[in-house]
Amino acid sequence: MKRVLFAAAFIVGVAAITPGANAQTNYPWCAQYSGGSAGGGTNCGFTTYEQCAATVFGIGGFCNRNTQYVPPPGPHPAPRQKWRGN
């Protein structure tokens, strides 16, 4: 019985000091949904413009950059250039 209690206390202790996962809470693109005279909602949960545009397509609205977005620290890859063949 003492071993079980010790094991449980050990697991709880390790779980308490282990840092949790940090989810990204802000994203660079926001969808502004049209809502007629009542106004629409806002969803700033898109990593790309294409994701945002696909969401508002057919239901009305538009996408714009999130003015509150703060990119995560560290080096960021340069944007890739799209190749257009002639």
**CB hemisphere CA count around 15 (13 angstroms):** 6
The pLDDT value given to residue 75? 78
The three-class DSSP label of residue 46 is: strand
Give the whole-angstrom CA distance, residue 33 versus residue 45. 13
Within a domain: residue 83?
A: no
Tally of CB atoms within 10 A around 29: 21
The pLDDT value given to residue 3? 77
Within a domain: residue 44?
A: yes
Within a domain: residue 17?
A: no
Within a domain: residue 48?
A: yes
Within a domain: residue 5?
A: no
Give the whole-angstrom CA distance, residue 25 versus residue 47. 11
Domains in the chain, number: 1
pLDDT tens digits along 10-58: 666 555 676 655 555 689 999 999 876 667 889 999 999 999 999 999 8
Give the whole-angstrom CA distance, residue 21 versus residue 40. 32
| Domain region containing 43 | 24-70
pTM of the model: 0.55
